[in-house]
Amino acid sequence: MHLIIILAALLLAWYLRLQWSNSAQNWAKRWQCALLCFALPPLLLIITAASIICMGPNGYMADLDNGWFSYFLALGFGGWVLVKWLQLAFRGYGGVQQIRASTQTNIGDKSARILETSALFSAQIGFWQPELVVSQGLLEKLDMAHLEAVLAHEQGHYYYRDTFWFFWLGWLRSFTFWLPNTEALWEELLALRELRADRWAAERVDPLLLAESLLFVASDRVQLMEHFCAAFSQYVRRNRLEERIEALLTPDSSPGLNWWDWSWLFLAFVPLFAVPFHG
């Protein structure tokens, strides 16, 4: 019976990922659809494995025997998921420690770490309390008005705690790379994350200054620690760059999120209802 539950969860996870399409919708709807399609399948698989581990290899369910094979399959998947989390956590911790070894200074009213490189780079790096990191090249090549626009964008990432949440999303990505649309959804979420920070910054600085700064730094390709780094200077494809520029120069008329649609997340907890029927 446990094997049937595992197969049903795999088929449902595969089906849910196939339902996503990158259609032209407003920003809020795109964010909601992409996040649900990205996060729901791996959460379903994790909770299915946890339910089977809790029920154990012995006993019956609906008059069907539960074997060791499905139990070890769930246990192996759970172990793999844990290893992936540990790998990302240690990598993130090491990256944060490297950043904290950099020189710290004040830029206006903000504290920042300075990277001694000519590349045009700015980012929030860390987890729940990330640190602002800017390159020496950015400080030298941008005037104060454009620099303040860039820092406002980074403050948007801090406001939404993007480094923290994308660490967890990156963890989900790491063990579901074999599901359809994983990379396409990840790229969509990264792009929408930047759009959200742009929108937040555009309410506090001149959107034209922000757009000019984006065009100026977009040519520099910087290797990022993408799971715990949110960067204004993150390299984007030309169509994504045009999308960000257009969004900055177009008045915002997008409706808010439909919180009722988030009830789909409860689908991930359905396997837990099988636990009481295990005997």
List pLDDT tens digits, range 127-149.
888 899 998 888 888 889 999 99
Length of the chain: 279
Cα angle 147-153-159, degrees, rounded to a multiple of 5: 135
pLDDT by residue (tens digit) across 178-228? 999 999 999 899 988 988 899 899 989 999 999 888 888 876 655 555 666
| Residue 195 contacts residue 247 (beta carbons within 8 Å) | yes
Looking at the chain, which runs of residues are DSSP E strands?
60-61, 64-65, 103-107, 110-115, 122-125, 131-135, 229-231
Weakly modelled stretches of the chain, pLDDT under 50: 62-65
CB 244 within 8 Å of CB 153: no
The residue type found at 271 is P
Please give the Cα distance from 260 to 245 (Å, whole number).
Answer: 31
Instruction: State how far the Cα of 54 lies from the Cα of 66, in Å rounded to an integer.
Output: 13
Helix, strand or coil for residue 28?
A: helix
pLDDT reported for residue 62: 47
Give the whole-angstrom CA distance, residue 274 versus residue 193: 36
Closest Cα partner for 115 from 93, 129, 126, 100? 100
Q: Which amino acid is it at 36?
A: L
Query: Residues 190-221, buried b or exposed e (16+ Cβ, 10 A)?
Result: bbbbbbbbbbbbbeebbbebbbbbbebbbebe
First to last CA, the chain: 12
Which parts of 136-248 are beta strand (E)? 229-231
